[in-house]
Amino acid sequence: MSALDFMLRNWREILALTGEHLLLVAAATLVAVAVGIPTGLLLTRKPSLRRPVLAVANVLQTVPSLALFGFIIPLKYVGGIGWRAAVVALVVYALLPVIRNTVTGVEGVERSVREAAVAMGMTDRQILRQVELPLAAPVILAGVRVALVISVGVATVAAFVGAGGLGTLIYRGLRQNDDRLMLAGAIPAALLALAADAGIGLIESRLDVRRRFARGGSKRGALARRVAAGALAVAVLGGGGFALWRRAARADVRVGSKDFTESILLAEIFAQELEARGLKVERRYELGGNLAHEALVAGEVDAYPEYTGTSLMAILKHPPATDARAVYERVKADYAARFDVEVGPPLGFEDTFAILIRGDDARRLNLKTVSDAARHAPGWRAGFGQDFMSRADGYEGFSRAYGLRFAGRPSEMDLSLSYRALAEGQVDVIAGNSTDGMIATLGLTQLEDDRHYFPPYEAVLLARRDALERLAPAREVLRRLAGSISTDEMRRLNYEVDGHKRPPAEVVREWRQAKGL
């Protein structure tokens, strides 16, 4: 199936995500204009403030977008996950061009024009409103134009914090190694940027009287501009309305997931089981990093799938342990005491770190265990996800346990990109997930952890106690799903999504029917 066929088949989801993208950009741009233009006008009247204010705006715009989201999320009133944090981050990026161009536009008004206005007896407010702003309008709009285009691009990163938008498709495509998904997100985003640039450009030309007359614009050209502006307005209102309609229904429970296929599948299983019992579910999937945990503790989601080993070390900061039952009981007790969160019974499988190499290399060198591979490591390039590189049970301890020495410091990258890098020969070893469908899709081989370094990672569902007390069916679902998913089943489900490129919701429906759920 070509990218175009894929987009036509999934036009409803693409339209909804485009609407979410438009709403994010529109809200952020309006706030940036409402704050940036008055700030710029103030700086033209208070020159002593100009340098420090513009310096702060410059510094904020140089902060990488993911880092900026990380700074905003913990803030009490403007942070968290979802729409609010994304809008705040976009406003920060959009402020600089609006402020700078407002100052430049007003300062660029010829001195003789101001002097003539003063000679006519106009007050400073009248000069600003009737002389400076009309003449500076094209320059100010150019700043708004830049801010709008920047916002369209940066808004793709908003998917990282669960704010939706077209970045959802791009991240999903990276995770599933699917170029069609990436194009389905990237093409509409690029078209939005072009449309926004052209739309503001048309308004600029209407406000710049001298340029319009110099071009001698025709009535036909004016009609074409009106049609284009009208089409843009319809697209914004239509897409935004569709996104709002999708979010309109009040949910009984909000289910989250992390930003990889298996977590989405487990969350979808829980969500569909809740819906089968008459509950309305809001899905807040694909939350990056530790956002799912932070959202659960903050009450922005009611449940999400997790792994006991991850909870033990990455969240609770306990040392590694190897007894699966002891790890589960400790995690269960600590989550109840510290977070008022209930740890559901194990779902039936573990998803531990998987040390992966290309299948051809494994067969050629007859490698079966990590110890077998250790003697080849000095000539290999390693690439590991940020999670593996930073965790207590990750790279540092693992490399010591096996005496691994690679050709250089391992490249640190997004987990989904590491699979592609290994398959394309850019690295020789990665750390993936043992139940990941990409292992079979790309013909990779998992090396046995023969020294039993990695702790148990039993899959469980975490749920806020207040949600379970409010919704009796949710507790029933936790009990019903206990031990219901085997390792082989989970690999097959992941493969259906990552290998066959099928929607997670469809894969989960089939699995539930086969299980009699």
Same domain as 149, residue 69? yes
At residue 342, the 3 state secondary structure works out as: strand
Domain containing 383: what range? 353-447
Handedness of CA 211, 215, 217, 222 (dihedral sign): negative
Exposed, middle or buried, 379 (CB in 10 Å: 0-12/13-18/19+)? exposed
Tell me which of 447, 478, 500 is where a domain ends.
447
Q: How many domains does the chain have?
A: 3
200 vs 142: CA distance, rounded Å: 8
Judge whether 275 and 281 are in contact, CB under 8 Å.
yes
Same domain as 508, residue 417? no
83 vs 74: CA distance, rounded Å: 14
Same domain as 389, residue 277? no
Report the candidate in 39, 74, 459 with the shortest Cα–Cα distance to residue 260.
459
pLDDT tens for each residue of the chain, 517 residues long: 677 887 888 888 888 888 889 888 999 999 999 999 999 999 988 888 888 988 888 887 777 776 776 677 666 666 666 778 888 888 988 898 999 999 999 988 888 888 888 888 888 888 888 888 888 888 898 899 899 988 998 888 877 777 778 888 887 777 666 778 888 888 988 888 888 888 877 776 766 544 544 444 444 445 444 544 455 455 545 555 554 445 545 689 999 999 888 999 999 999 999 999 999 999 988 887 778 898 899 888 999 999 999 999 889 989 888 899 999 999 999 999 999 999 999 999 998 889 999 999 999 999 999 999 999 999 999 999 877 887 777 888 899 999 999 988 898 887 878 888 999 899 999 998 888 888 888 899 999 999 988 889 999 999 999 999 999 899 999 999 999 999 889 989 999 988 888 889 999 999 999 988 7
**pTM strictly above 0.85:** no
At residue 234, the 3 state secondary structure works out as: helix
Exposed, middle or buried, 282 (CB in 10 Å: 0-12/13-18/19+)? middle
Radius of gyration (C-alpha) of the chain in whole angstroms = 27
Helices 472-481, 261-275: inter-axial angle, 10-degree rounding: 130
* Strand arrangement of the beta sheet that strand 353-358 belongs to: 430-433, 353-358, 444-447
Report the candidate in 323, 328, 281, 325 with the shortest Cα–Cα distance to residue 304.
281
Provide the CATH number for the domain around residue 441: 3.40.190.120
Same domain as 267, residue 126? no
Provide the CATH number for the domain around residue 473: 3.40.190.10
Provide the CATH number for the domain around residue 181: 1.10.3720.10
Tell me which of 447, 474, 499 is where a domain ends.
447
Same domain as 344, residue 362? no
